[in-house]
């Protein structure tokens, strides 16, 4: 039950409020002076305070009221202080708001009006307190898990597996949809390994043109091709003594897969245009968002390379299947982004929380982080609301669901299918444009089309 502190030097007012608010769902505390109020404040930590600005020993001025306001907010800035003023003291009320008061009302006291203000203050305080507790849990989880935030059974399994394999040198293959955090897992493996003092070098195999990727991986000698004016080391050499992260390895051309396989078998490389074998001591962590088994069957990925890079497989579930983790991640990102942008955004409104939990998140964690960054930039409040997240208030997506009509998993699947179909229709079946609009990769788009049986 929430504690409410009433500070007023008028005994008649205190009696009126004591009886008028007695039936409400909070514990009432009364004080007539600032020092008495501060003692109660420190002992009971009330979430809401009503504070008369004119208090003894300077009842004819607002000096004591402002002192009490400043001390209370210094002790606990989250407290909602509602200041009480006379009809001719509007300037004092506005000054109190500037100093951090939640709201104000004028004497004589209208109990009905006061009840509304207090209920709103208590509700907001409860929401902000829950947000703070969730944010603390998210930050603690991130600190203990190499920055990976997650508490669902699947993610606990991932963290347990990372702990078991990090200290060894076995190659690891991390799989999962685009945006699920595969690079973060690779960094966690490196941080927990005996190579953590060495370099971690990342290369995206799908982002480099085919005619350049061999040189990017293995380096080249001077004169190896037009424009090669000096010897250049490749990423593999740079990673010696540490970890090489090969992101989107499923996009690696087949001819490069052969050369990578030779390197993994012998741990030696030859630069492009060179003949000298160069030994390299490096640990390989690879990642992919494609179905490797299907790629092997299609002849686009070598089976022998798969067995080399996938001694241990770590699969990351999509965000829509991580029950309870959306809130943890949202609180973690909100705290970090608000700090980066210098904005006092402390939590989420109830409609925003509903939207976060029911949205399908086709772009996974990356989409969540991007939505929150946009929301923090756009909001003028200290709470993120559904509209700035791009959700319809009260539903979390366009065309909400009634409680009990569908399970959460079914609702997410329905929204996901609807969004994919709408994007494909908007861009006349163009996979590239539709996937870009949804903030997901082409392979993920193909997987979701297949999953939902969408004709294109």
Res 148 pLDDT > 90: no
For 352-383, write each residue's pLDDT tens digit: 888 898 898 999 999 999 999 999 999 988 88
Contact yes or no for 302/123 (Cβ under 8 A): no
Nearest CA to 100 among 130, 59, 65? 65
Confidence band of 181 (pLDDT split at 50, 70, 90): very high
Distance CA 215, CA 194 (A): 28
437 backbone dihedrals φ, ψ, rounded to 5°: -65, -35
What's 2-136's CATH class? Answer: alpha beta
Q: Residues of the chain with pLDDT > 70: what percent?
A: 91
Cα–Cα separations (whole angstroms), residue 349 to 15, 313, 378: 35, 39, 15
- Domain ranges (residues) in the chain: 2-136, 153-317, 320-452
User: So what's the pLDDT on residue 136?
Assistant: 58
For 386-437, write each residue's pLDDT tens digit: 889 988 644 444 444 444 444 556 666 777 777 787 778 777 788 888 887 7
136 vs 355 pLDDT, higher one? 355
User: So what's the pLDDT on residue 404?
Assistant: 47
3-state secondary structure 62-81: CHHHHHHHHHHHHHCCCCEE
For 269-317, write each residue's pLDDT tens digit: 888 888 888 999 999 999 999 999 899 999 999 999 999 999 999 999 9
Distance CA 102, CA 82 (A): 6
Distance CA 231, CA 343 (A): 48
Of the options 1.10.3720.10, 1.10.8.60, 3.40.1390.10, 3.30.70.1050, the CATH number for the domain spanning 320-452: 1.10.8.60
**One fold for 153-317 and 320-452:** no
Contact yes or no for 171/310 (Cβ under 8 A): yes
Q: What is the pTM of this model?
A: 0.61
Confidence band of 30 (pLDDT split at 50, 70, 90): very high
Cα–Cα separations (whole angstroms), residue 100 to 49, 73, 248, 277: 13, 7, 50, 69
Longest dimension (CA), the chain: 97
Assign domain 153-317 to its CATH architecture. 3-Layer(aba) Sandwich (3.40)
246 backbone dihedrals φ, ψ, rounded to 5°: -100, 95
Res 239 pLDDT > 90: yes
């Amino acid at each position: 039950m929430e504690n409410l502190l009433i500070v007023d030097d008028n005994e008649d007012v205190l009696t009126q409020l004591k009886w008028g608010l007695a039936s409400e769902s909070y514990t009432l505390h009364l004080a007539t002076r600032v020092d008495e109020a501060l003692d109660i404040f420190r002992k009971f930590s009330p979430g809401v305070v009503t504070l008369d600005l004119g208090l003894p020993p300077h009842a004819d001025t607002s000096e004591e009221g402002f002192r009490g306001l400043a001390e209370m907010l210094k002790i606990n800035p989250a407290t909602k202080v509602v200041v009480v003023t006379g009809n001719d003291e509007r300037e004092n009320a506005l000054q109190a708001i500037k100093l951090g008061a939640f709201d104000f009302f004028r004497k004589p006291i209208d109990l009905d009006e006061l009840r509304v203000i207090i209920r709103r203050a208590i509700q907001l305080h409860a929401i902000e307190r829950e947000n703070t507790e969730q944010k603390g849990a998210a930050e603690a989880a991130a600190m203990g898990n190499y920055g990976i935030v997650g508490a669902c059974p699947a993610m606990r399994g991932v963290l347990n597996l990372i702990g078991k394999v990090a200290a060894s040198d076995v190659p690891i293959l991390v799989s999962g949809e685009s945006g699920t955090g595969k690079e973060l897992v690779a960094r966690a493996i490196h941080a927990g390994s005996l190579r953590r003092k060495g370099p971690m070098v990342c290369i995206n195999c799908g982002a480099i043109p085919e005619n350049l990727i061999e040189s990017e991986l293995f380096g080249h000698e001077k004169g190896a091709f037009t424009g090669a004016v000096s010897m250049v080391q490749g990423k593999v050499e740079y990673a010696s003594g540490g970890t090489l992260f090969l992101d989107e390895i499923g996009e690696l051309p087949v001819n490069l897969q052969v050369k990578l396989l030779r390197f993994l078998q012998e741990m030696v490389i030859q630069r492009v245009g060179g003949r000298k074998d160069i030994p390299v001591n490096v640990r390989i962590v690879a990642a992919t968002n494609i179905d490797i088994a299907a790629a092997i069957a299609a002849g686009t990925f070598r089976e022998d390379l798969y067995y080399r890079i996938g001694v241990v497989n770590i699969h990351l579930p999509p965000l829509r299947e991580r029950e309870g983790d959306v809130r943890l991640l949202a609180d973690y990102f909100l705290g970090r982004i608000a700090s980066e942008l210098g904005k006092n955004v402390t939590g989420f409104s109830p409609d925003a929380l509903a939207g976060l939990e029911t949205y399908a998140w086709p772009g996974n964690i990356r989409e969540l982080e991007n939505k929150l960054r946009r929301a923090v930039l756009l909001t003028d409040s200290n709470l993120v609301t559904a509209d700035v997240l791009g959700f319809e208030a009260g539903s979390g997506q366009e065309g909400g669901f009634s409680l009990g009509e569908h399970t959460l998993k079914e609702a997410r699947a329905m929204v996901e299918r609807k969004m994919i179909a709408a994007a494909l229709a908007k861009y006349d079946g163009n996979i590239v444009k539709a996937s870009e609009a949804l903030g997901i990769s082409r392979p993920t788009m193909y997987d979701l089309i297949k999953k939902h049986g969408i004709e294109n």
